[in-house]
Structure 1
Amino acid sequence: MKLGISSSAAEAILAHARADHPREACGLLVGRSGQVTRIVPADNVAARPHAIFEIDPATLLRVHREVRASGEVVLGHYHSHPNGRAEPSRADAARAVTDGQVWVIAANDALTAWTMTAEDFAAVELA
């Protein structure tokens, strides 16, 4: 699987991760046909935002309504790992579902992408 992401969207994710450090930054990936056309930063409302993320439900609902009207889709979400680990954590795996959505992780000023399979996370190529 491959996910297209513009350099401006990628840089916006990395900037959000740097700004929210040491908390996990998070947001939504919006686009069409496997191409991220924009990101929507969200507040991390998790009880332990230094260790896990939870996208603000109001942002989540608003963006889903917006994309329905525009023809875009929510392709997945992004979050940062302030600990520098560029792969999904155990907390990520415990909350993941096999719905085809992409998880982009910002760590060490770089991005990796993943999707959940029936067994585990699988790497997604960023293009």
Structure 2
Amino acid sequence: MDMTLQISRLLAAQIVSETMRFPVETCGLLLGKDSVVEAIEPCDNVHPEPATHFELDPAALFRALRRARAGGLQVIGHYHSHPSGIAIPSATDAAQAAPDGAFWMIVAGTDLTAWRASSDGAVHGRFDPVALAIAP
């Protein structure tokens, strides 16, 4: 299993720009194939406490999954921001994460980190760190 998540500088900059626009946690989908992010899809954070939590809009996720089934890009993970924190998974993130191998990108300011959800991760028993390769 590849433990490097690849993303273009342009997409990484779009994520940072999107997450810095709001004082609350923002989120979106990472779309691509295997461990290569080919597109992002910003989503509404529908959590009732968006200042400290996030929940992807289920309708946006279902639409992306339908597009993937029809031959579009796969949902390989998601990103979310920690506007007043650091770019590592929180205990709350771990409690909400399914051990499904999905990539989690966490953004704090301009700092981007990547993680993979697993059943016995090194961080909070749920996440393993993943190298983030930002290509030109």
| TM-score, normalization by structure 2 | 0.88
Instruction: Report the equivalent of 1:91.
Output: 92
User: Sequence identity, in percent?
Assistant: 48
Q: Tell me, what secondary structure is at the counterpart of 2:21?
A: helix
Instruction: Report the equivalent of 1:14.
Output: 16
Q: Tell me, what secondary structure is at the counterpart of 1:99?
A: coil
Instruction: Report the equivalent of 1:70.
Output: 71
Q: Tell me, what secondary structure is at the counterpart of 2:70?
A: helix
Question: What do residues 36-90 of structure 1 show as CA deviations (whole Å, max 9, x unaligned)?
Answer: 0000000000010000100111101111111221242111000000113110011
Provide the C-alpha distance between the structure 2 equivalents of 1:117 and 1:57, rounded to a whole number of angstroms: 22
Q: What is the root-mean-square deviation of aligned Cα atoms in Å?
A: 1.0
**Unaligned stretches of 5+ residues in structure 1:** none
Q: Tell me, what secondary structure is at the counterpart of 1:13?
A: helix
4+ residue stretches of structure 1 with deviation over 6 A? none
Provide the C-alpha distance between the structure 2 equivalents of 1:55 and 1:74, rounded to a whole number of angstroms: 13
Residues 4 and 130, structure 2, Cα contact 8 Å, conserved in 1: yes
Q: Tell me, what secondary structure is at the counterpart of 1:48?
A: coil
Provide the C-alpha distance between the structure 1 equivalents of 2:48 and 2:88, rounded to a whole number of angstroms: 22
Evaluate the alpha carbon distance shift between residue 62 and residue 71 of structure 1 in structure 2; reply closer, same or farther with a 3 A threshold. Answer: closer
* One of 114, 125, 128 as aligned partner of 1:122: 128
**Unaligned stretches of 5+ residues in structure 2:** none
Tell me how many residue pairs correspond in the alignment. Answer: 126
Residues 5 and 36, structure 2, Cα contact 8 Å, conserved in 1: yes
Provide the C-alpha distance between the structure 1 equivalents of 2:7 and 2:107, rounded to a whole number of angstroms: 13
Structure with the higher fraction of residues in helix conformation:
1
Instruction: Report the equivalent of 1:52.
Output: 53
